[in-house]
Amino acid sequence: MALIRSGLAALQPIAHLEAEETRSLWTRLPVVAALLAGSVLADPARMPELIDIVATEHDRAAAEILRGETDPLARIGMDDRRSFAPAALIDISRVSAELECHASYRLTERVPRLVSDAVALLAQTPYAALASRVGARPDGPLSLSSALALVARATAGNAVLRREFQPKYQLFWSELAQSFPDLVSIDIIVAQAAVSGIDRTSKSRGAA
């Protein structure tokens, strides 16, 4: 995935789009749309407009994922993974297909250490609570993808922590994306939504 190889998936966008400006992007480039809409998702006042656009133009399931309150892949790979139906923007069924196709896929034995180190890095950010999402995933590609996406988006605005992330994890993240492109893509969207959700909650409390 070009966004990972270039390092852009781990950066804070210089420009952010308003909800209406992302309308067409959700169909063509949903990962880019999520990254550029990060500030809207983090804004209690502007977020509902974006949710309505995605729900109206595309599908309600994907719009709800953008609230950042749940992990849509939390139970995929377990006994109920076939219960997910395709969605217009975030097609979870394709992740099931990837997992089945690469059932014998073996990541480096360094994966458990990579995941634990990523969670430790996440703990240094205001988004430490999201580490529980990594622990809820099965070991292997699912937990690694979640950990890398969450850390990438959680450290995007912190130059010091970002410098720790990129040289250590980018190669493994890129390798994972080659075999599991849909998994990695969805996890970037989910991670951005989760990070923005925490920011949105903080802003709401600050305004109260």
Q: State the pLDDT at residue 27.
A: 82
Which of 38-42, 50-54, 105-109, 110-114 shows the lowest mean pLDDT across its residues?
105-109
Regarding predicted confidence, which is higher, 11 or 88?
Answer: 11
**Contact call for residues 200 and 193 (beta carbons, < 8 A):** no
Q: State the pLDDT at residue 189.
A: 94
Average of per-residue pLDDT across 8-23: 90
Q: d(Cα 201, Cα 155) in Å, to the nearest integer?
A: 18
Report the alpha-carbon angle 109-118-134, nearest 5. 85
Which of 203, 204, 187, 176 has its CA nearest to residue 68? 187
Q: Is the dihedral of CA 148, 130, 53, 56 positive or negative?
A: positive
85 pLDDT above the threshold of 50:
no
- What is this structure's pTM? 0.89
- One-letter identity of residue 94: R
Q: d(Cα 134, Cα 121) in Å, to the nearest integer?
A: 13
What is the distance of C-alpha 98 from the center of its chain? 17
pLDDT by residue (tens digit) across 165-184? 878 888 889 989 998 999 99
Report the alpha-carbon angle 161-166-171, nearest 5. 155
Tell the residue number behind the tokens 């133009």, with chain if given. Answer: 57
State the first-to-last Cα distance of the chain, in angstroms, to the nearest integer: 41
pLDDT by residue (tens digit) across 90-126? 677 788 888 878 766 666 667 788 899 999 999 999 9
DSSP letters, 26-57, are HHH-HHHHHHHTHHHHT-TTTHHHHHHHHHHH
Q: State the pLDDT at residue 103.
A: 65
Average of per-residue pLDDT across 127-151: 93
Instruction: Provide the residue range defining the domain that includes 91.
Output: 2-207
Which of 190, 191, 194, 71 has its CA nearest to residue 138? 71
Average of per-residue pLDDT across 134-154: 92
Q: What SS3 state is found at 189?
A: helix
Q: d(Cα 42, Cα 53) in Å, to the nearest integer?
A: 16
- One-letter identity of residue 69: E
DSSP letters, 67-104, are T-SS-TTSSTTSTTGGGPPP-SSS-HHHHHHHHHHTTT
Residue 88: pLDDT band with limits 50, 70, 90: low
Count of structural domains, the chain: 1
